[in-house]
Structure formats: structure tokens, C-alpha cells
Amino acid sequence: MYDVAIIGGGPAGLTAGIYAARAKLKSLLIERGMTGGLAATTEFIENYPGFSEGIGGPELMNRMEAQARRFGLEILNSNVEALKKENLNFIIKTEDTEFTARTVIVATGAQPQRLNVRGEETFHGRGVSYCATCDGAFFKDKHVAVVGGGDAAVEEAMFLTKFATRVFIIHRRGELRATKIVQERARQNPRIEFIWHSVVEEITGNEIVTGVRIKDVRTGQTSELPVNGVFIYIGYSPNSSIVKELVKLDERGYILTDANMQTSCPGLFAAGDVRQKSLRQVVTAVADGAIAAVSAEKYLEQNR
């Protein structure tokens, strides 16, 4: 029997583990892959407070894990296959065994939807990115492409104009899905150019990205566009399937919580990118994790 079980070992989960273990709660973190989440795949993080010269994503996550282990957090590498509530406790079924916990913090994150084109995986971290806020500064005075037509794609394209001299928005339709005010701002930005009715067929390069091959969906004609970076914004998919029968989700599948990270299921908390929120960054994930752990501790005190 654990006081707190944390599902997911990214920044939110590790921070929840630090706070829970430090509070002397018997705590278990279950991560299906390597700890660190998407942050561990980010080559360099420049906007995390306290590191004036920046820090590598893997190093930051390794430090968080070491800190959590120092306070006594148990970490298990396994896939959670099912989560259910029985009376006041939760049963967590993994590939190999079952665990019981009095509270659960879900920190399973969200995955960027992929284009699934040739070169995308090859150049991930070497010109292909899913986060302009994280990586935009690396493309100062460069040309970049943004794939997508929703609010996130257009807003991130405008953000990229702070660094890149030219930003191409590639969209498969002839009009954007972004809100009108966002569209207007983008159209007024002299550094943004729109490529309509087009899809990316391949991301090209050698050691780093040098261009994209795009196809006009109306004519089938292909062309090459030289760019130094490709930012993909065709949506995110929250990893919330294990709790879809337990908690309320929004229309996109993100977990709904209050300010204390409490879900609609008592004793079940959510933190990080898997919950509905306006900004998904390492710094907001660690804040969520801290709040969730403290809220879990208070819940345990009230339900002894």
C-alpha cells in the first residue's frame, strides 16, 4: 500500500515525487519509458529559471530524478495497463503486477501529433521541433517552416519571427483555422509568408535540416522549399486513456482539474501536459507536480 502513486516520470511526475517523498509519504513513480518525458528529448533548455547559460534537457531531468531518489522515491519502469478505484483506494495494474495506493497523481503528458513523413524522426532535435518556445532562439536569422493552421501554429509562427528572418506557414487548406484576430496579426507580419493548399511530403537534409518537399494538394505538383527548421503544430494527443472512465475530460481528451490539481474523482490528481491548461512548459509542469503532491498530502490527512 502506497500513500501516493505517480503515473508518468516527466517534469510533473518527478516534481510530485520530490514533494511527496520529502513529506515522508510512501511514494511510487511508474514510468513506461525513460524518465524525463519530452523534456529529456530536448537538446537544450534556455528558459528554465536558475540556469543562466541554459541546460541540456537530459541533464535537467537526470538531476530531477536524482533529487527525487535522494528523498526516497521508488521508481519503477513499467507500463500502466489499467487504473481503477475500489472503495477509497486505487488499484494500479502494470505489465507484471498490481499496486494499491491511497492517492494517484496522473502525469502522463501529451504527445505531439506527428506528420509521419520521411525525415521527421531522423531530424528530430536537428531542425525538426514541436516547440517554438523551446527552440526558436536557435534559428536566429534563419528561414523556418511551420506546419499547421490552427491557433498554436500561427501563434508560434509569430513567436518565431522574433528570431527567424522568414517564417513559412504551410497549410493544407486555403484558409487558416486560427481565430480571426490571430490570423490578422499574422497577415500583418512582414516576416510571415503563407503556402496554401500544401502538405509536407518529406523533410530533407544531411546532418541538419536543409529543406522540405511540399506537394500542392490541388495539382499534385511537388516543389522544394529551403529552410533551416521545421516546426510541426498539427495538434497534441493527451495520454489520458487510462483515466477516461474515472475523471472528466475536455473535448480533446485533456483531464479537467481545479487549481489544486484535483480531478472529478476524489483522491485522483493530474499534473503537467495531460491536464487542460494554457501553457505547456517544463516550468508549468513542475509547478503542477508540486501542487498535486501537496494536495494529495492534504487529502490523506483529511481521509485517515
Among all residues, which ones are annotated catalytic? 131, 134-135
Rounded to whole angstroms, how far apart are CA atoms 227 and 204? 9
Cα dist. 237→109, 155, 222 in Å?
9, 19, 29
Distance CA 35, CA 15 (A): 12
User: What CA–CA distance (Å, rounded) separates 137 from 147?
Assistant: 18
String of b and e for 154-192 (b: at least 16 CB within 10 Å)? bbbbbbbbebbebbbbbbbeeebebeeebbeebeeeebb
- Write the DSSP symbol of residue 136: G
Q: For residue 66, is it left (φ>0), alpha (ψ between -120 and 50) or beta?
A: alpha
Nine-digit cell string for 300:
490523506
Cβ–Cβ under 8 Å, residues 206 and 127: no
Query: Could you tell me where the DSSP H helices lie in the chain?
Result: 11-22, 57-70, 132-135, 151-160, 180-187, 282-302
Integer Cα distance of 44 and 56 in angstroms: 4
Give me the torsion for CA of 149, 242, 22, 301, rounded to 10°: 120
How far apart CA 141 and CA 139 sit, in angstroms, is 6
Closest CA to 74 of 133, 3, 168, 174: 3
H or E stretch including 151? helix 151-160
- Distance (Å, rounded) from C-alpha 44 to C-alpha 154? 24
Joined together, the cell numbers standing for residue 77 give: 519502469
